Amino acid sequence: MSEALKEKPRFTVKAEGDFTNWALASFPGIGNGNEKISAEHKHTKENGVEVERTYVRNISNGDVVLVHVGSALISDIGEYDNGRYAIYICKCGWQGEMQWQEYTCRGLGIYDASNHLNTSAAKISFNGSQTTSEYYPMIMIKDNKKGVTHFFETEPLSGWYFEIGISEGSLYVEANSAFICNDGWQKILKPGDEYISGETISGCVSGGLSDAVRLLNDFKRERWSKRAVSPMVIFNDYMNCLWANPDYAKLLPLIDAAADAGCEVFCIDDGWYESGRAGDHLGDWTPCDSRFEPLGFKGITDCIKRRNMIPGVWLEMESCSSESDVYKELNDCLLTRNGVIVGGSRAFLDFRKEKVREYTMRAVERLYELGVRYIKNDYNHNLTVGCDGGDSLSEGYARHRAAFLSFIDELREKFPELIIESCSSGAMRADFYFLRHTDLQSVSDQEYYYNNPSIIAGALSCIPPERCGFWSYPYPLKYEDREKDIDGIIINGSCEETVFNMINSMLGVMVLSGHIDKCDSKNAALIAEAVSVYKKYRADLSSSSPVYITKPLKIGESGAMAAGLKTDGGTLMAVWKINSGEMLVTLDIDKDLGKNVKLIYPLSLSTDFRFKDGTLDIVMKDYNCARLFWISD
């Protein structure tokens, strides 16, 4: 928030009349010319963060077609000066999530070009249902002159839109999720009807990005589901492991290995509900007992429980394949666009329809009766511009999204013990306003362990660490080898690779995979050691905030990077050396983090390091190498 507004108390702005040309609400000139709306912009402050919404009501006797409702317009951020500001945009992509990019104003195309209306604004937007598949809906602007950082995050109701520009010589930011120019959104208001915009949160803090994230995390934690779920150690059999092809013979040794390592949840990923290729009967959520002969599916979940782990399964509640029974049975309950089913062979169920809600609730009930207490809910397909059932395609999807989230809330109320992980081909739908209805988010589908630190560093700035599910997959079976006989494949069993993998998951929720059933005793001990260390500090994750000792590397870059979590008792710091032959890694440790540095993982491997006068030197011999330290006073 601008300096001028930062300390303002709560306020509400009200206005009435013809707002055709107003920035926060507009409608086209149709009808008899007597259309009127009232617009109320509410601004509150929660936990130091500014919260803004716009409420628009039709106060005329005829219909009004809204085409633009902004949730926030923050002006007077500061006088335009290209060198004064660093603007941070969070770029995302499949297997390359949360990659922060830094720009100058001119680098984004923002420049003072006219003494009339300046049109050189930068626009960062998305339309579609995978709301974070291109960008995360957050912007940060660091004012180098004042030493402050402004932050803005907006709620996607369907698409979302940011605009950064110059008005009267000063920077401004507009945020909305209702704009015809972005995704064709429009909303018809009948006389007396009201439209409520998405929410935008913003703020201004002294310092840099870490300081802004600390304030955002505190806000998000207060807003998140109040149900307390401590971060658990999860084993999921998908990534670099079974690749959606589970069966009795493959699962039993993995269940034993996961339990021996200290895992608390064992999640069976895709493939448990059909005998053929994964995805052919997507939506038919009935366990395929023939896959798990001689025990059957319940026999497998019983094995998991006997090893003191919580059974879990993978679902994709909103999707069904054209070969599935539910596709045929609920064909009139699929999302359409202009009357045609959306998605081709992978369709979407419409959660505005009661039959869909009842069907999915019954499916979860059956799984619950079989002992399942953990669901990884995936979403692997982007709806793009929207669906029927609204005043526009975009508004139609907004209604579906709201209906699905209300279903998740009903599910959690009915089954309070059920833990729900959100996934969307990794983090393609990871906006805060969706995630707060769930327990945690799978952060990536990245398959190469040395690419994960870059994603981890970015994710910690968007999602509180106790909600971030980070993969570790020692002894990986590569995707291209997934159909081969595993006994004939040489799987890398390097101790340093195992350590690197385990550290990847130790700054969030630990999600373990890989063929750990093939581990030798030394690597098995390294995995168990990491789990044991993690359990000692995981309770502190929910009050921690990320710190960046170095600038994070981008995916594909080589070198050293360090990031961590600051807690009340000290700072957990992960150090990674990625694709580099340099043996010595030197880090400058801020004195505010502490004066003492000790290695906490791995203790079973030798590590040569020295800390003196705020400088940490570490000898890291392997090309890819990682260590975990604790910094304290």
Quick: pLDDT tens for 362-391.
999 999 999 999 999 999 999 999 999 999
Report CA-CA distances (Å) from 426 to 94, 158, 378, 429: 7, 19, 8, 8
Question: What's the rounded mean pLDDT across residues 583-606?
Answer: 96
Q: What percent of the chain has pLDDT over 90?
A: 87
Measure the CA–CA gap between 498 and 507, rounded to whole angstroms: 16
Angle, CA 36 vertex, CA 32 and CA 38 arms, to 5°: 170
Six-digit token pair at 18? 């013809």
Q: How many structural domains is the chain composed of?
A: 2
Q: Is residue 565 part of a domain?
A: yes
* Mean of pLDDT over the chain: 93
Q: Is residue 20 part of a domain?
A: yes
Q: What is the CATH number of the domain that holds 172?
A: 2.70.98.60
Six-digit token pair at 148? 């402050």
Q: Is residue 626 part of a domain?
A: yes
Entry field: residues in the chain: 633
Quick: pLDDT tens for 68-100.
999 999 998 999 999 999 999 999 999 999 999
Measure the CA–CA gap between 365 and 362, rounded to whole angstroms: 5
Does the pLDDT value for residue 14 go beyond 60? no
Six-digit token pair at 490? 């040489």
Return the closest-CA partner of residue 181 out of 38, 394, 387.
394
Peptide bond connecting 464 to the previous residue in cis, omega within 30 degrees of 0: no
Q: Is residue 335 part of a domain?
A: no
Question: What's the rounded mean pLDDT across residues 103-131?
Answer: 91
Q: How confident is the model at residue 15 (pLDDT cuts 50, 70, 90)?
A: low
Q: Is residue 571 part of a domain?
A: yes
Tokens 């990923």, located at residue: 269
Quick: pLDDT tens for 438-481.
999 999 999 999 999 999 999 999 999 999 999 999 999 999 99
Q: What percent of the chain has pLDDT over 70?
A: 93
Q: Is residue 194 part of a domain?
A: yes
Does the pLDDT value for residue 113 go beyond 60? yes
User: Last residue of a domain, which of 171, 205, 223?
Assistant: 223
Q: How confident is the model at residue 411 (pLDDT cuts 50, 70, 90)?
A: very high
pLDDT at 4: 32
Measure the CA–CA gap between 287 and 296, rounded to whole angstroms: 9
pLDDT at 2: 36
Say what the pTM is.
0.94
User: Last residue of a domain, which of 188, 223, 258?
Assistant: 223
Does the pLDDT value for residue 143 go beyond 90? yes
pLDDT at 320: 97
Tell me the three-class secondary structure of 554-600, residue by residue.
Answer: CCCCCEEEEEEEECCCCEEEEEEEECCCCCEEEEECCHHHCCEEEEE
Tell me the three-class secondary structure of 288-333, residue by residue.
Answer: CHHHHCCCHHHHHHHHHHHCCCEEEEEECCCEEECCCHHHHHCHHH
Question: What's the rounded mean pLDDT across residues 519-534?
Answer: 98
User: Last residue of a domain, which of 169, 195, 223?
Assistant: 223
Does the pLDDT value for residue 344 go beyond 80? yes
Does the pLDDT value for residue 580 go beyond 60? yes
pLDDT at 3: 36
pLDDT at 22: 43
Angle, CA 474 vertex, CA 471 and CA 477 arms, to 5°: 95
pLDDT at 7: 37
Question: What's the rounded mean pLDDT across residues 273-291?
Answer: 87
Does the pLDDT value for residue 579 go beyond 90? yes
pLDDT at 168: 87
More confident residue, 24 or 91: 91
Measure the CA–CA gap between 474 and 148, rounded to whole angstroms: 41
Q: Is residue 285 part of a domain?
A: no
pLDDT at 9: 34
Q: Is residue 303 part of a domain?
A: no
pLDDT at 33: 64
pLDDT at 346: 94
Q: How confident is the model at residue 414 (pLDDT cuts 50, 70, 90)?
A: very high
C-beta of residue 461 within 8 angstroms of C-beta of residue 215: no
Question: What's the rounded mean pLDDT across residues 25-53?
Answer: 81
As beta bridge partners, residue 88 has 102, 140
Structural domain harbouring 576: 547-632
Angle, CA 503 vertex, CA 497 and CA 506 arms, to 5°: 150
pLDDT at 20: 42
Does the pLDDT value for residue 13 go beyond 70? no
pLDDT at 290: 94
Question: What's the rounded mean pLDDT across residues 602-622?
Answer: 97
Q: How confident is the model at residue 612 (pLDDT cuts 50, 70, 90)?
A: very high
Six-digit token pair at 627? 């260590």
Q: How confident is the model at residue 8 (pLDDT cuts 50, 70, 90)?
A: very low
Quick: pLDDT tens for 29-38.
455 667 889 9
Q: What is the CATH number of the domain that holds 611?
A: 2.60.40.1180
Report CA-CA distances (Å) from 490 to 224, 249, 476, 524: 44, 19, 10, 17
Please give the DSSP secondary-structure letter assigned to residue 79: B
As beta bridge partners, residue 469 has 442, 509
Q: Percentage helix, strand, coil, to 5, in the chain?
A: 25, 30, 40
